[in-house]
Amino acid sequence: QDAEVLAENNDFQELLQSLPFQRGTINLPLHLYKGFWYFDHSLEAVMAFHRHFQAQDSDIILVTAPKSGTTWLKSLVYAVVHRSQYTATDQNHPLLTTNPHGVVPFLELIYRNNKFPDFTSSPPRILATHVPYFMLPESIKTSKCQIIYLCRNPKDIFVSMWHFGNNVLPKRYPSWQPISIEESFERFCKGIEMFGPCWEQALEYWKLRIEKPEVLFLKFEDLKADINVQLKRIAEHLGCPFSPEEENRGVIEDIAHLCSFQHLSNIEVNKTGEGSIPQLENSVFFRKGEVGDWVNILTPSMAEKLDQVVEQKLHNSGLTL
Ligand code: A3P
């Protein structure tokens, strides 16, 4: 394995030198690989994940663009899958003491410093990633494991990312240079965004859901509009539908409450804890959790511009974002 790791490291450094490179939406350096933008360390991890991950049929893979509601999706799927072990009202529920990123890890982080990680957790494993489908390992594509994709309106993704960058980066990288919102927005419209363009990623999974029943396609806005309906879709997709008895007992409502923005963001571990994602405070994953907050920060012409970029891409696909 050592020789393999060494050879891969060398190959990766060579590849990295050859890739287009630019600063993205939050002014961090990104590399363009096969149409998507990555941090250097993320791309290296993604490639290791792509090469070495061995899927199991029972795996559940959550896929999102950054800032599209990943934290929420992780909590919902975890609570649905583990509901016979922990009811949503259980005082010992892991989501009361652990941030959702602690119970559902990112594959990009698992593979960051270890190309051959030890997956010891018992099935079903719930794992998350931000990568496009074509970058998922073959073993996922050929297995029966379930994929849940969550998208969000790109204007809200941009605004969420803008606040995230300004909140997190000055503390994390003291030499980080802020940029104007106009410049940041221009880059976002060009898709120069970590794991972006988010609309390309959404379109890929949208098309896939037709030929691959393993893919469930969700929207942040639909979760906000009727969480109970979407929780039923998630449970059915994962082969563990809510029984009539569970429905009568209010199990769906209890899970919705447990994972709601209001509840999760006020739990101590999510207010003051840190490290579920290295070097980040858990609170940075909770801001407003609303639909349409973009109106408070984008001008009408900015909104129109991004809408046009997205519409052009999604044209005739049946997908609206
Ligand atoms: P806002 O910045 O618009 O508030 P991610 O988890 O992919 O990083 O996305 C973060 C976004 O999801 C943030 O959006 C955050 O507030 C929102 N969010 C986090 N937990 C949520 C929840 N339980 N319900 C609704 N939105 C949530």
Q: Which amino acid is at 87?
A: T
Q: Strand 60-64's sheet: what is its strand order?
A: 126-129, 60-64, 146-151, 215-219
Classify residue 276 by burial, with Cβ atoms within 10 Å: 0-12, 13-18, 19+.
buried
Does 237 qualify as catalytic in the annotation?
Answer: no
Query: Ligand 1: does its nearest atom lie under 6 Å from the Cβ of 171?
Result: no
Residue with the smallest CA separation from ligand 1 atom 14 is: 289
Cα 237 to ligand 1 centre (Å): 23
The pLDDT tens digits of the residues spanning 54-80 come to 999 999 999 999 999 999 999 999 999
SS3 call for 36: strand
Q: Using the 8-state DSSP alphabet, how is residue 75 labeled?
A: H
**Quick check: pTM over 0.90?**
yes
Gap between the Cα atoms of 243 and 4, Å rounded: 49
Query: Ligand 1: does its nearest atom lie under 6 Å from the Cβ of 72?
Result: yes
Q: Which of 25, 67, 157 to mutate to test the pocket of ligand 1 (most atoms within 8 A of CB)?
A: 67
Contact between 71 and 44 under an 8 Å Cβ cutoff? The reply is no
State whether ipTM is beyond 0.85.
Answer: yes
Which phi and psi (to 5°) does residue 23 adopt?
Answer: -80, 140
For residue 307, give every residue at least 6 positions away whose Cβ sits within 8 Å of its Cβ, in sequence order, or none: 155
Residue 253: the pLDDT is 98
Residue 55: the pLDDT is 96
Report the DSSP beta bridge partners of residue 215. Answer: 147
Gap between the Cα atoms of 232 and 229, Å rounded: 5
Residue 5: the pLDDT is 78
Could you identify the residue written with the tokens 């990680």? 117
* Helices 2-18/40-52 angle, 10° precision: 130
With CA atoms as reference, report the closest residue to 155 among 2, 302, 282. Answer: 302
Whether a cis peptide bond, with omega within 30° of 0, leads into 124 is: yes
What is the mean pLDDT of each successive set of 10 residues along the chain, which is 321 residues long? Answer: 79 94 96 97 95 96 98 98 97 97 96 87 93 97 97 98 93 88 98 97 96 97 98 98 98 98 98 92 97 98 98 95 97
With CA atoms as reference, report the closest residue to 128 among 85, 78, 163. Answer: 78
Of the candidates 31, 50, 82, 130, the residue annotated as catalytic is 130
Residue 119: the pLDDT is 84
Cα 8 to ligand 1 centre (Å): 35
Residue with the smallest CA separation from ligand 1 atom 25 is: 289
Q: Which of 284, 285, 293, 294 to mutate to test the pocket of ligand 1 (most atoms within 8 A of CB)?
A: 285
